[in-house]
A and B are shown apart, each in its own frame.
Chain A
């Protein structure tokens, strides 16, 4: 089933929130400073012409929903089906897909060895995948440019 990135609301909203509060590339208002409403913005094209578009909604100083969608010049959305043939629904590059799915027999799942965390919130730093790529930042800045 096709599932566009627009449904990644919580994760994207969190990323927007982090960016607004930290002011990554230029001073930006915090979410608490924004009026209620829905904000939309787009990035400039990347090297292949793909453009990122963001939409997020603020209610009572909190980002309640957000979506970020990247679209190719021909209108193809970078969603869960990106890379699959439109006619067959199969991967365009079968060799890649097969290789990526190939199992290495020696590997196992080791979750049972993990210890339970009793004080999981007492940490030194929280590691997370970065979302601070250029198009995302540009789209947020564009969305807030009229404020």
Chain B
């Protein structure tokens, strides 16, 4: 059992990867201000470095150069190689459901890499476009966390609140507490929270979904099997594992696959999942369930919703109870 210590927290933020990056450093007792500032700076710096290498919107990034010259070997940095390796690994492990290289002509290898005398090189199959958006955030959050580990008793790194990596001492209790934003229009408060001592958490999905339909279209997630936006019964999913890139790949895959296949995949690949469905149900893998606390009223509401997608007065009551 982890004990709660008198802890002090220090927050900092920056803008990178198209969103806001938050770093929380926790110290037990007095801390050297310069040490903390340097650690935070290093964390924000590595996220910016990953962004510069893997952004699709920076023409000089390794990823943009690779997308502009498919079929050619190009010199790239270690960040692209690390994420490309993971992307290909999880494309295989998810049977192509997670695919960072988009829809294109059949190819044995979508992206390849090799280490030569002058450093790393990478190659992209013609007809494909690589986009490491989510998995790059998971990679960057984990890297930033590790940059701070020696300087603080506890670290949390959040990139856009959808990629969160944390380890060590939490500021107020024995474990970190991550609130889950509601994807449902009918519930404006958080759904509840997940408690865990360490790990990498990825949240994917939509916001503002109005209950009623059993499925929805997630515009920003492509289903590689159809080449179109994913149609799914999952509104939002949070995946917890010991690796940020695994959490990101599986949260995206769960959105595409839907509730039951997605949760089965998470369990098969050693991750825990919390799924919020289009019809209002809250579902978790057995490992995740004990970590989750729901806001008062949500549990009963979710049970009702889980059995039926019919609109009930419970939704209105939830708003009152949950506020």
Query: Hey, which bits of chain A sit against chain B, CB under 8 A?
Result: 1, 3, 5, 7-15, 22-25, 47, 70, 78-80, 82-83, 91-93, 95-97, 99-104, 106-107, 109-117, 120-134, 137
Asked if B59 CB lies within 8 Å of chain A CBs, one says: no
A123 to B293, CA, bound (A): 12
Residues of B close to A109: CB separation below 8 A: 281, 283, 306
Asked if B282 CB lies within 8 Å of chain A CBs, one says: yes
Residue of B166, B226, B238 with most partner-chain A CB within 10 A: B226
Nearest 5 A/B pairs, CB to CB:
A11-B208, A128-B181, A11-B207, A8-B208, A117-B293
Q: A24-B15, A114-B282, A116-B296 are in contact. Are A127 and B213 (CB under 8 A)?
A: no
4 more contacts with CB within 8 A, not counting A126-B181, A128-B181, are: A5-B219, A78-B217, A114-B289, A120-B179
Asked if B303 CB lies within 8 Å of chain A CBs, one says: yes
- A-contacting residues, B142-197, CB 8 Å: 156, 158, 160-162, 164, 166, 170-172, 176-181, 183, 185, 188, 190, 192-193
How many B residues, CB 8 Å from partner?
81
Partner of A100, one of B170, B177, B261: B261
A3 to B183, CA, bound (A): 16
Contact A82 B217, beta carbon cutoff 8 Å? yes
Residues of A close to B207: CB separation below 8 A: 8, 11-12, 14-15, 128-129, 131
| Chain A residue at smallest Cβ distance from B163 | A130
| Chain B residue at smallest Cβ distance from A112 | B303
Asked if B206 CB lies within 8 Å of chain A CBs, one says: yes
Of B78-86, B119-127, B228-236, the one contacting chain A is: B228-236
| Chain A residue at smallest Cβ distance from B257 | A100
Contact A104 B161, beta carbon cutoff 8 Å? no
A14 to B207, CA, bound (A): 9
A107 to B24, CA, bound (A): 36
Residues of A close to B160: CB separation below 8 A: 130, 132
Chain B nearest Cβ from A28, distance in angstroms: 12
Residue of A9, A121, A124 with most partner-chain B CB within 10 A: A124
Residues of A close to B201: CB separation below 8 A: 127
| Chain B residue at smallest Cβ distance from A50 | B219
Q: Across the A-B interface, how many residue pairs have beta carbons closer than 8 Å? A: 219
Asked if B284 CB lies within 8 Å of chain A CBs, one says: yes
A124 to B176, CA, bound (A): 7
Chain B nearest Cβ from A12, distance in angstroms: 6
Q: A8-B208, A78-B217, A112-B303 are in contact. Are A104 and B263 (CB under 8 A)?
A: yes
Partner of B258, one of A13, A92, A100, A131: A100
Contact string against A for B residues 215-243, beta-carbon threshold 8 Å, 1 for contact and 0 otherwise: 11101100101101101110010100000
Partner of B179, one of A107, A111, A125: A125
Partner of B18, one of A24, A93, A99, A129: A24
A14 to B182, CA, bound (A): 11
Partner of B284, one of A24, A80, A110, A137: A110
| Chain B residue at smallest Cβ distance from A7 | B210
Chain A nearest Cβ from B134, distance in angstroms: 8
Contact A91 B231, beta carbon cutoff 8 Å? yes
| Chain A residue at smallest Cβ distance from B305 | A111
Q: A109-B283, A125-B178 are in contact. Are A114 and B260 (CB under 8 A)?
A: no
Chain B nearest Cβ from A19, distance in angstroms: 10
Q: A83-B231, A99-B261 are in contact. Are A130 and B15 (CB under 8 A)?
A: no
Contact string against A for B residues 57-81, beta-carbon threshold 8 Å, 1 for contact and 0 otherwise: 1000000000000000000000000
Residues of A close to B171: CB separation below 8 A: 124
Contact A83 B178, beta carbon cutoff 8 Å? no
Residues of B close to A9: CB separation below 8 A: 185, 208
Q: A110-B289, A114-B192 are in contact. Are A127 and B238 (CB under 8 A)?
A: yes
Asked if B8 CB lies within 8 Å of chain A CBs, one says: no
Contact B205 A129, beta carbon cutoff 8 Å? yes
Contact B264 A116, beta carbon cutoff 8 Å? no
